[in-house]
Amino acid sequence: MTSPATTPEHGARLDVRGLRKVYTGRGEPVEAIAELTFEVKAGELVCVVGPSGAGKTTLLRCMAGLMPATSGAITLGGAPISGPPPGMAVVLQEYGRSLFPWMSVAQNVDLPLREKGVRRAERRTKVSEALAAVGLGDVHDAYPWQLSGGMQQRVAIARAAAYEPQVLLMDEPFAAVDAQTRFELEDLVRSLWRRLGVTVVFVTHDIDEAIYLGERVLVLSARPTVVLEDVSVGLGAERDQLTTRADPEFARLRTHVYELVQAAKRGARTLADAHLTHPVRIGGEAR
């Protein structure tokens, strides 16, 4: 029987406790992450921002089970992550490298379902539904290299959605697409998230994107990394590119997160160090 924390409808809870990551190689050790502790509730969408080199990709790789932590623990639905866990899907920035060029669009979306052992008839339905959901119902037989970058990223999202993961990790997935396509893909992520109830962790450089998408925004310090602030985004569930971005609350959050990231770049490691010059009211609370 599946526990409530791991049903696809509710996603799975992701817990990061005392995560530390030091890269050791031939040269000097690099302490990428000093101490990260946070929780992503089942079915929550959390964005992660921070200065370049803050360890966002390192965090994501550890959460995906692609790299061991130096110390600390990451659990998914209560189970420790020690390798790529079933029930997790990852979408990366480099769509050109994440799709197999010799497979058609439908075959690419189908592949994880085959590996999951889903029967052929059910797979066919899931692939069609996922491609229709991302607006690519008419390119099943095309090859990735015949599609635009934005379309290829839609295929990667369709592949993740068809798999019905409990957790979806996204590492700067829209950094390489044009601004117009990016808005469309952001709306696609929010609509899939709401429909599937999946837990999502979304890493981005773009502060506006983090606020538009997230229920929370984790702002990381510079390396060695800690959480500078865990910012709640009280913009409601219904969001759209015009009204949400014009909302005064959006502007306040943007100022606040921008200031935090600037403070992180100057070396702030706590809110007290950050010396914010535009204290703002977020959700009625003075900061």
Which residue, 66 or 79, is less far from ligand ATP as judged by CB?
66
Residue with tokens 């490691």, as numbered in its chain: 269
DSSP 117: T
Shortest approach of ligand ATP to residue 69 CB, angstroms?
Answer: 13
Residue 116 and residue 155: Cα distance in Å, rounded?
A: 18
Comparing CB distances to ligand ATP, the nearer of 153 and 204 is 204
Amino acid at 242: L
Q: What tokens does 107 get? A: 């075959």
How many residues does this entry show for the chain? 287
**Which is nearer to ligand ATP, 164 or 209 (by Cβ)?**
209
Q: Which is nearer to ligand ATP, 84 or 279 (CB)?
A: 84
Please, which residue, 55 or 165, has the CB nearer to ligand ATP? 55
Give the other-Cβ count within 10 Å of 83's Cβ. 9
CB of 28 to ligand ATP, least distance (A): 9
Tell the smallest beta-carbon distance from residue 220 to ligand ATP (Å): 7
Residues that bind ligand ATP (CB under 6 A): 23, 25, 30, 32, 50, 52-58, 205, 223
CB of 55 to ligand ATP, least distance (A): 4
Smallest gap from Cβ 54 to ligand ATP, in A, equals 4
Helical H segments across 168-270, by residue range: 179-196, 207-213, 243-246, 248-265
> What one-letter code names the amino acid at 31?
E
Burial class (CB in 10 A: 0-12, 13-18, 19+), 165: buried
